[in-house]
Amino acid sequence: MKATRSFHAYLGCFLVPMILLYCVTGIFQLWDIAPLDFTVTLSTWHTQRALKQGLSFVGPMVKITATLFTVLLMMLSTTGVFVALKTKTHRRYALMALALGLATPITVILPFVQ
């Protein structure tokens, strides 16, 4: 269990910068906010489109990096759930949080599915 917690902690520290960057640029993309020119360029990886100037972060290396980080994020998330469920004192709350975490996107997305 100690090794699992260490793995989870190190993987989390490794992924946090990429996750935060992806989240911030996703907010810029979602709300069409462009406080600085480079944020417009960074937001292109969410749409896989080039800008009028031809600038874009889309390419094979970006796709490979994004796929790697996605797989690692899935491992981090799974490890976090595993650690939370193994902790007997917090298992009930972990299960409730997991159920709520599953129900929330389903509730939000389901009305739009045809």
pLDDT, residue 46, reads: 64
Does the global pTM surpass 0.85? no
pLDDT, residue 19, reads: 81
- pLDDT tens digits, one per residue of 18-36: 787 777 777 777 677 766 6
Number of domains in the chain: 1
**Calpha distance 58→82 (Å, rounded):** 34
Per-residue pLDDT averaged across 38-59, rounded?
A: 64
Q: Which of 73, 40, 45 is nearest to 58 (CA)?
A: 45
pLDDT, residue 26, reads: 74
- Domain span at 52: 2-112
Query: What distance, in Å, lies between the first and last C-alpha atoms of the chain?
Result: 43
